[in-house]
């Protein structure tokens, strides 16, 4: 799937949105460091982000694990995620703002071996505002790509979403 912003009548917005996506693609064109990303869409039962999110992850410089673009969000087994051992874990539950995810994060923290994941050991666990940015298609999909680019490639991208669109989660 290729993200292509469709036009809105009498508005330059689509071109501006496409430019934002193209800038990210251009900056990452020759990047060889592509970390593996597990994006969690639901906590119980565990569900990984499918549909458009794997493509957004790819555009932002990551390799999505256990989910395919244009496929429904798969129910994942915790064992499969542990086996994949992603470099980065992004938690973005359907309909949840960051605060609600923080209230329910224990569902993940209690899973066996959570603290042994590479993402946890390397302090690369993030919570994103799934409700506002990731759970619906639309113009905010470009914001979603920028959020992912900030998370995946923090030395290359600073768009200003940290603290509002996403936070770093430190599992103690």
CATH of residue 133: 3.40.50.1980
Give pTM, 2 decimals. 0.88
Q: What are the pLDDT digits (tens) for 145-159?
A: 999 999 999 999 999
pLDDT tens-digit readout, 89-139: 999 998 999 999 999 999 999 999 999 999 999 999 999 999 999 887 777
Give domain status of residue 10, yes or no: no
Whether residue 9 is contained in a domain is answered as: no
Q: Report whether pLDDT(2) > 60.
A: no
Asked if the structure places residue 52 within a domain, the reply is: yes
Q: How many domains does the chain have?
A: 1
Rg of the chain (C-alpha set) = 15
Whether residue 86 is contained in a domain is answered as: yes
pLDDT: which is higher, 68 or 32 = 32
Whether residue 46 is contained in a domain is answered as yes
Q: Is residue 1 part of a domain?
A: no
Does 76 score more than 70 pLDDT? no
**What pLDDT is stored for residue 6 in this prediction?**
52
For residue 163, is it within any domain?
yes
- Decide if 138 is inside a domain: yes
Residue 37's domain comprises: 33-169
């Amino acid at each position: 799937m290729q993200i292509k912003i469709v036009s809105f009548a009498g508005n330059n917005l689509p071109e501006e949105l496409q430019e934002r996506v193209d800038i990210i693609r251009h900056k990452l064109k020759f990047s060889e460091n592509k970390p593996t990303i597990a994006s969690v869409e639901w906590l119980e039962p565990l569900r990984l982000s499918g549909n458009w999110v794997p493509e957004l992850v790819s555009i932002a410089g990551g390799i999505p694990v256990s989910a395919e673009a244009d496929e429904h969000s798969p129910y994942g087994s915790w064992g499969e995620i542990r086996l994949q051992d992603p470099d980065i874990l992004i938690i973005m539950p359907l309909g949840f703002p960051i605060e609600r995810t923080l209230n329910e994060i224990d569902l993940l923290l209690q899973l066996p071996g959570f603290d042994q994941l590479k993402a946890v050991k390397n302090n690369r666990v993030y919570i994103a505002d799934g409700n506002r940015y990731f759970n619906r298609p639309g113009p905010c999909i470009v914001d979603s790509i920028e959020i992912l680019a900030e998370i995946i490639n923090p030395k290359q991208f600073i768009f200003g979403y940290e603290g509002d669109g996403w936070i770093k989660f430190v599992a103690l």
